[in-house]
Structure 1
Amino acid sequence: MRRSSRSTDGRESLVDDELGTAPLEFILVGLLLLVPLVYLVVALGLIQGQALGAQAGARHVARVVSTASDLDTARERSDLVLASVVDEYGLDPAAVSVSMECAPAGTTCPSAGATLVVTVATRVALPLVPPVLGLDRIASIPIEASATQKISRFWGSR
């Protein structure tokens, strides 16, 4: 609200009741914009890290299965690699699932000469979401990564 008053020399001067509120408004609006921006950066960082972990897991599991000499060695190596990736990238072991398929359809997986497709799926819980009423499960992002590897035509014959 502006009021006018007469000064001693006869001129009118304006007295501002809102003098000094600009810094307060700047801080308030800055916080209102900065907090969601920081949350977005943190959430995207978590999602990117988990996506890299899922991709690394799929790629390395496909590689060790396709280079193994037999099925038992392939299972043992894939379990070790997956445990290492889960530990390295901080994935939730309970949320990680691995599936393997071979092409062409109808072949046993893994088999010599087939193309192996490994898919690793997990979920990323968003930060600062409480586990009340299952909100942490609702506010989670599904992540899935696949890798393809050609199995040697001599697989299993070593």
Structure 2
Amino acid sequence: MRPLRRSALHDDAGSAALEFVTVGVILLVPLVYLVIALGAIQEQTLGAEAAARHIARTIAQAPDAESASARSDAVLAGVVDEYGLDEGAVRVSIACTSRAVACPSPGATLVVTVATRTRLPLVPDLLGLDRSTAVPVQADAVQKISRMWGTG
């Protein structure tokens, strides 16, 4: 009997390393995916925040409404290119806190909202999974417009 026990124990030698590698891979793959997905979401969040902030500043510093529109379009295109945002998914909303006046107008407080959706990495386009698993991202920026805006 004694030789049987030794052979049974001897057959089990080295399995701890194999189990460690197997469990390590099973835990490591989702962790790496989580890091990649959170990085993509953070990139899109920073892009939306930068777009909202820079568009608000551009409109507030423009000499008039026409140049404000042209400059804000150029800023949005630059931010979309810089941060790799999906141009078709970016939505920009511009409003003023006082609804009685046209927006933008002198003395108004401008609120710029930029919303987009972040596609998760490695999600296929099959059956619309890319759209249903996309994470919505939104950023707001507030800027006070000078009372002298548009007069010069």
With the length of structure 2 as denominator, give the TM-score of the two structures.
Answer: 0.95
Q: Which has the higher helix share?
A: 2
Q: Does 1:45 align with 2:39?
A: yes
Residue of structure 1 in register with 2:50 after alignment = 56
Following the alignment from structure 2 to structure 1, what is the Cα–Cα distance between the partners of residues 64 and 3?
98
Residue of structure 2 in register with 1:101 after alignment = 95
In the alignment, structure 1 segments of 5+ residues that lack a partner are: none
Could you list the structure 1 runs, at least 4 aligned residues long, displaced by more than 2 angstroms after superposition: 12-15
In the alignment, structure 2 segments of 5+ residues that lack a partner are: none
Shift of 1:20: 1.5
Residue of structure 1 in register with 2:114 after alignment = 120
Shift of 1:6: 5.2
Residue of structure 2 in register with 1:142 after alignment = 136
Aligned CA-pair RMSD: 1.5
Q: Assess if the C-alpha contact under 8 Å between 1:5 and 1:15 holds in 2.
A: no
Q: Which has the higher strand share?
A: 1
Higher RCO, 1 or 2 (CA under 8 Å, sep at least 6)?
Answer: 2
With the length of structure 1 as denominator, give the TM-score of the two structures.
Answer: 0.91
Relative distance call for 1:32 and 1:103 in structure 2 (3 A) is: same
Following the alignment from structure 1 to structure 2, what is the Cα–Cα distance between the partners of residues 106 and 134?
42
Alignment length (residue pairs): 151
